Structure 1
Amino acid sequence: MPKRKREFMLDIWGGPRKKASVLSANLRLAKSFFSGSSINYRTRCTSGEGRLCDIFRDLNLWNEFFWQVGLELRELTPGQLFLVEMHGAYVPLEMPEQKHEAATLLHRLLTLHRCIVSVDLNGYIFKGHHQLICDALRKSPSIRKLKLCLLTMNTYASQSFAAALPHLNHLRELECRQVHFDRTFLDGLSEFLANTESLTTLTMSHLHIEREDAVVILQGLKRNKTITTLSLNTCILSPVSSRCGFMFADYLRENQTLHTLSVTSRYLKNVIELRLIIRALFHNRTLSELNLIRFSLDNENIQLITRLLGQNKTLRRFHMVGCVWYERAPQCCINSKMQHMENFGNVSSRIRPWLVALTENKTLDELTLDMSCFNSDECRSFFKALASNASLKKITVERLRRKDVAEICRALRETGMRERFFLGIHHVIQDPVATLTECKELSRISVDSTILHDFDPLHTTLCLLPSCSHVTSLCLRVSQELFNNRVSSLIAQYITGTTVLRELELTFFFDSGSWNAVDRPERALVQALSVNKGIRRLFIGGLCFDETETGMLADMLQHSRTLCDLSFYPDDYKSAVLLVRKLSPSFSTNYTLLSMRLSKRRELGADWFTVADVVRRNFSLVTRAAHFVAGTRHKYCAAAAEQVHFNPGLVTKVQELASVDEGEAALRIKNSLKSFSELDEFMRMAGVVKESVACHRRDDGQTQLVDLGRDCWLCIRQYLKVGDILDPQ
């Protein structure tokens, strides 16, 4: 690692260095941390319609500075920069000069560059630099999203931030994540919420706020006229005996702008808070999406929720994520009373409220819930009600009852609900034969040998998997007690042979140090992964990889055109260090990997930064390419589409942008590339001509570009890409 050359720093008055909180941003920076390069941070933004700012050429240098505070510049939409948390970066604890340099660069970005639209602020960069950063926020011409994370604000920082908030005239999204506020900040935030004309999204789902302090926030929220998306947790309502809960209920009752509401339970048994929310929503006429996260559901809340679904005319998406059926709820009573219901016959009191709601509701498009509390007969009635509901397009089920899974899947087929049914998480196998041979609807499977009592279920599962073409995602947890050479061989054979598996999560719970070189499970695993050409997302937990094995794994990553997402958490972190060291020299030739997570270790250093920067570049290219497919006809987006058209992540991104299935997304990518394959279209896209190619007549009669036949031009196009045509200086 090159030595960093320190340069004396002066403030704008030319005086000696002052405290960090009052330092000017007009400073000379030292060399970048990893490469020892200089950075030009004084130039203004050069972005425009169809043109990238010059800063995009040096993002790796900017990120060498921002990594020192756990942040990274990323292109999440074409031509626009987002300063986001970089969880894999090692942040040194005592390096104040580097933290000040990062704050300096952030000031320059915010004040000089309209291409920076979103900023995450953490304690590393904000502490001691609040004046500098708040001054930059006030002056920013383009900041649209601000995220505060892991911050503890003192009085001076709160005053600076509260004073800056009224000047954020372009801010659309504000997120507060694990931030500890004082009253000064709360008063400023409340006033901002009351008066803003731009804010549409407020996220406070990880906010820790005490009792009556929440009143200040709610007062501003009640006066707000712009927020359409709100996320918070129940601490803002607690204790329910305080006026906070009733103020929030009044807000939900009277609000006329809110479209999306997400509420996370801070404690498992927030049944009373949930009751307050649901009752208020009976009077709301604008909400189209409701997300309830990690709540306990008792009898009264279930009755309220199903009544709301039956009566509401605006709700389009309703998701209960990680919600627990409370033990006193009727869904969990063993002897549920049977009741007759038209079109369904005799049904249990467990399922009846849901059947009534689904029969009466005519507007819901999406529904997410946990069905592990329902037996096969109840699920059959539920699916029948879903089949009669024409509006519901997607039903995501988090869990099913394991012992009834075969019967439940049969009911799913018989009611014709297979196409609208999605299993949200991996289904844990209890009976491998029944699950794998009969339940073709379950594409996400989990095999956990740590909860199995003997070897047979694991062995049976591994023997059946090669014939299961419906399994596209597998989570395999292997304990030392049930692991042997046969299991290792079966896992390797399956990985080698499968062509349909897209996601693989492998976690090993044993010490592999005693294995000899021939029998090492690590060796068999990396050999199998090197052959596989279908896996797009890979998680490896446990094991210890030697130099040969990490070399094989690095070679596989280097050349893979399918693996987009890697998580690598070996038992010995030296395996991760060795992997990035082998990758970094030539990893820039990889244009596939879009996400990579490793054990957070200081020893990863510059090699890890090099690898992570390639991943960032690949993500930017896929983002540009997807937007080109979606209709953004900029040259740099077309160039990206040519570079990463093969990337499976591009298909996924197009699916997200266009809300289409995988086949339609792949077809749109193919057609978008064809759209500039011909001579005139190519030259227009490259910016060479405005309309069509025309050549002056030659006296010697030599063949000119326009005289080339189509076949000849298409042959040339194999070697000529949009990105090869230089932009005018």
Structure 2
Amino acid sequence: MSTAEAILWDLNNTKSVLTSRTIDHSIGCTHSDTEMCHIFVDLKLWNEFLWIIHLELKEVVPGKLGIVHQLGCSWKRVSEIQRSHAFILLHWLLKNHHCIELLELKETPFGTNLRLIGDALQCNVGIKKLGVSKFEMIPKAFFTALATLSGLQKLALCDVSLTRHAVAELQLAIKEMSSLTSLELEVRKLNPRNQSGLLDALADSSVAELHLPGWCLDNGTVFAKFLAQNTKLKKLTLDYIVNEGERTNEVLDLFGALRTNKVLEKLYLPYCFLRPSEGRFLAQVMAENNTLSVLQVGIAFGNEPDDFADLIERNGGLRELEIEGSFLIDELAGCIKKNTTLRKLSLQSARIGVERTEAFLDALAGNESLELVTLGNVFELVPGDFHELLEQKGLEKRVHYDCYTSDPPIHTSNKRSGTNLQRVYIEPQQDPVILVVHYMYFKLASPFRFVEVSIRLDRLGCTSARLLARYLSSTEVLESLYLTFDVNEHSMSILLGGLRLNKSISSLAFEDCEFTNEDASVLGALVKESKTMQEITLLSPDYSTSLAVISELSRCLVDNYFLLSVKTNEYLDLGEYMFEIRDKMRRNGSMLLDAVQFAMGSCTKRHAEAFERHVESKSLVRKLQEVTGETEFEVRERIKTRLRYIRYNFMTVVGVVKEKVICKQGKRQRTLLDHIGFDNLLRVVSYLKVRDIVDEPVAGCSHAPGSRMQLRKRKARP
């Protein structure tokens, strides 16, 4: 036996630490335009090995896989040989499987050999997106390999440091990757020479979306020249620009380049709070620039509101504007009346009192071009005060808001923002009076308005729990709930009882809450039954709570096909439970993608079955909006059309017949007996689901003649 054969034999006989199963490394990628790779049949097997090195293999787009970072097993339970085998498997997957189009790597305690990864990438033809984060001194060889990725479209290097030679190699790679359209470089400080070299490489590249740290403005003149002359860049994000007290002319040079650049469409400057002179200059520039359509900036303390009023009123082409900082919203009312170009406006002030918004809202009511205004940090005395004001002015559909009360801290929103409301928690000014707390909870439900609710309380008593449970069991609009409090012996069970009756919440989070084994069982039953829950977050410093909930979820998720995300504290010794949970997340994520494919026109039985399961889920609507770019109304019409297709073509979809079952009317256009038969058929299949038709005979029916397709027994609908 040769050395290569001996190595292959050893790899094929290495057993999983979880199930003792093995992988056959002799079979390569079988992906084609019409067939999925054989690897999709049992993703769990491959993950039993990749789990050792904190990686996960899962479907990321229909028919294509990604390898992403995920907390795995404790390093103490595996040997160095087992880890080496897992890295060899990673190398083999990247080298041989062109069905893998996403790779995300994050530094781990035992180290990831980027030279080994680079060697595999030189043979890869499928990777389109690559992310590398938290690595020290990425070697030159890795970037040499990047230059060979002819199909790479998106590259992200986040919180990494590079050797001097690696920077030079990265510059060459950027020039040679002709398909690269998106680049994020969060590289730790580079010297001026390397910064200039990097900008020169970007000037000659095909990059249309660029994300850089603020140090790129250290030499503002050089960056301004790069931006002014660039003819391909459509979107630019600059993070962590030095604060206004330490800046000189860097931001002024940046804005000056916008006078020359006629290509850039989106500019994001998060955490960049403009000085008065910078705000005035930006307003002047934007009066001349008619190509920039999206802008995000901030107002530094002490800035005159007139500067940004001019920006809103006089800009030439902005369609979306986001302003963050300290300003009085009523002082922007005048410019809102006059603006005719903006479609979306986001104002994230330090604090907006309800009483100060009326003039602004009156101006908005008179503006016909602004379709959506987002207001953050609106302070109200009682939940719902601001919403009532919006209803009075007929603006409840045009204004999205985040509101808060301070005693007790409650955040509410009429939109699904996708952000964590807990980030904007404020400490209560004093211990809230319990009757006030009860009144606040009562107001949450009168009437139901809030899509997101976040509540913080030191202790949740039984009376408060009953009020919340009553609200949660009856609301039909609440989608996201974030709770943090200490509980007494019975309050958690009361709260979970209300949650179990809820049919609208898709995102549920608990922080610093304790669960008994009985509470965990109720939560498990809730998840098992739910068809709306998509995300669950449990952040508890209490190990016994994490153990109770995670172990319960690992069992109950077998029968749940809708949950897509479970986030918990990262306890390595609970890794096996989390592995089972993630396996179900992978299954559910793939099923959602199957449903999307059917909605997009595919007619396979597997895709139709997935579509039937998700036909009423909000996750399908959101995923289709993401894929197609259509409005919610258009997506829902698409879903209705595809549901009718299943009804009228049921026998074809499930594989009983090869062609469509049709009945034709006679010459006199009279209804024929066959047409009546087709109507009867539609009535019959209305009691069936695609999954009721199995491909192989069920037990006790193997003697049935005719088609191999069999029908599961199903109760008739009332």
| Structure 2 partner of 1:341 | none
- Describe the SS at the equivalent of 1:397: strand
1:145 paired residue number: 154
Q: Distance in 2 between matches of 1:196 and 1:371?
A: 38
Letter in 1 for 2:161: T
Match of 2:450 in 1: 471
State the superposition RMSD in angstroms: 4.6
Maintained 8 Å contact 2:407/2:432:
no
Work out whether residues 43 and 57 of structure 2, in 8 Å CA contact, stay in contact via their aligned partners in 1. yes
Per the TM alignment, residue 174 of structure 1 is displaced from its structure 2 partner at its CA by 1.9
* Superimposed CA distance per residue, residues 369-405 of structure 1 (whole angstroms, 9 cap, x where no aligned partner): 1367666675333222222222211111113242599
Note if 1:573 corresponds to 2:536. no
- Equivalent in the alignment of 2:380: 402
Corresponding position: 1:590 with 2:560 = yes
* Aligned mates of 1:244, 1:225 — CA distance in 2: 21
State how far apart, in whole Å, the 1-side matches of 2:333 and 2:2 are.
70
1-side partners of 2:47 and 2:214: how far apart?
31
Match of 1:549 among 519, 524, 545: 519
Structure 1 residues 411 and 229: alpha-carbon distance in aligned structure 2, compared to 1, 3 A threshold = same
**C-alpha spacing 1:200/1:115, structure 2 compared with 1 (3 Å):** farther
Partners of 1:618 and 1:684 in 2: how far apart? 22
Contact residue 289 and residue 316 of structure 2 kept, 8 A: no
Structure 1: runs of 5 or more not aligned: 1-7, 17-23, 332-349, 695-704
> Which of 680, 693, 711 is the equivalent residue of 2:680?
711
Q: 1:649 aligns to what?
A: 619
Task: Check if 1:228 corresponds to 2:197.
Answer: no
Q: What's the counterpart of residue 288 of structure 1?
A: 293
Q: 1:265 is paired with a residue of what secondary structure?
A: strand
1:506-536 deviation line (CA, Å, top 9, x unaligned):
111x4x5xx5xxx433333333333333322
Secondary structure of the 1:591 match is: coil
Distance 1:304 1:9 in 2: 76
The Cα of 1:633 is off from its aligned counterpart by 6.3
Corresponding letter in the other structure for 1:363? T
Range that drifts further, 45-54 or 274-283: 274-283
Offset at 1:39? Answer: 3.5
1:635 positional shift: 6.5
* Structure 1 residue 420, shift from structure 2 partner: 0.9
Matched residue SS, 1:81: strand
Aligned to 1:324: 325
Question: Measured at CA, do residues 571 and 261 of structure 1 come closer, stay the same or move farther in structure 2, by a change above 3 Å?
Answer: same
- After TM superposition, the score normalised by the length of structure 1 is 0.75
Distance 2:415 2:690 in 1: 45
Specify which of 332, 337, 351 is matched with residue 359 of structure 1.
Answer: 337
The separation in 2 between residues aligned to 1:185 and 1:393, in whole angstroms, is 44
SS at match of 1:418: coil
Deviations 1:208-249 (A, max 9, x none): 747747877776655543221221224379897667545533
Which is worse superposed, 462-471 or 362-371? 462-471
CA distance in 1: counterparts of 2:294 and 2:477, whole angstroms: 34
Structure 1 residue aligned with 2:270: 264
Residues 562 and 441 (structure 1), Cα distance of their counterparts in 2 relative to 1, 3 Å cut: closer
Match of 1:201 among 198, 209, 224: 209
In structure 2, distance between residues paired with 1:281 and 1:368 = 18
Shift of the 382–238 alpha-carbon distance from structure 1 to 2, 3 Å rule, reads closer
Match of 1:383 among 354, 358, 361: 361
Contact (CA 8 Å) 1:114, 1:140: kept in 2 or not?
A: no
Letter aligned with residue 286 of structure 1? T
2:652 corresponds to which residue?
A: 683
Deviates more, 1:256-265 or 1:714-723: 714-723
Task: Check whether the contact 1:237–1:273 (CA below 8 A) recurs between aligned residues.
Answer: no
Distance 1:58 1:215 in 2: 55
2:453–2:481 Cα contact (<8 Å) kept:
yes
What does residue range 77-92 of structure 1 map to in structure 2 within 5 Å?
77-86=61-70, 89=72, 92=75
Q: By how many angstroms is 1:686 displaced?
A: 6.4
- What is the CA distance between 1:458 and its match in structure 2? 0.2
Structure-2 change in CA distance of 1:32 and 1:375 (3 Å): same
Mapped partners of 1:189, 1:214: distance in 2: 14
1:521 aligns with 2:500: no
Query: 1:289 touches 1:315 (CA, 8 Å); kept in 2?
Result: yes
Cα distance change on mapping 1:612 and 1:222 into 2, 3 Å = farther
Q: How many residues align?
A: 652
- 1:620 deviates by 3.0
Distance in 2, Cα, partners of 1:219 & 1:91: 50
- Call closer, same or farther: CA 1:440–1:146 in 2, change over 3 Å: closer
Q: Tell me the amino acid that sits aligned with residue 316 of structure 1.
A: R
**Offset, 1:608:** 0.2
Residues 349 and 377 of structure 2 are in contact (CA less than 8 Å); yes or no, is this contact kept in structure 1? yes
C-alpha displacement of 1:568: 1.1
* SS of 1:640 mapped into structure 2: helix
- Measured against aligned partners, the alpha-carbon deviations of 1:438-462 in whole angstroms (never above 9, x if no partner) come to x997999999894453222102123
Q: Secondary structure at the match of 1:391?
A: coil
Q: After superposing the two structures, state which structure 1 stretch, 361-370 or 53-62, moved more.
A: 53-62
Give the equivalent residue in structure 2 for 1:75.
59
Identity %: 24
Query: Shift in Å at residue 306 of structure 1?
Result: 2.4
Alignment match, 1:428: 405
The residue aligned with 1:699 is none
1:539 is displaced (CA, Å) by: 0.9
Q: Larger RCO: Structure 1 or Structure 2 (Cα < 8 Å, ≥ 6 residues apart)? A: 1
Distance in 2, matches of 1:168 and 1:32, equals 38
Shift in alpha-carbon separation, 1:51–1:549, aligned structure 2, 3 A: same
- Native 8 Å contact 1:121 1:147 kept in 2: no
Deviation at 1:129, TM superposition (A): 4.2
Which deviates more, 498-507 or 442-451?
442-451
Where 2:647 maps in the other structure, the secondary structure is coil
CA contact (8 A) 2:408 2:428 kept: no
- In structure 2, the partner of 1:19 is none
Q: Which moved more, 1:588-597 or 1:540-549?
A: 540-549
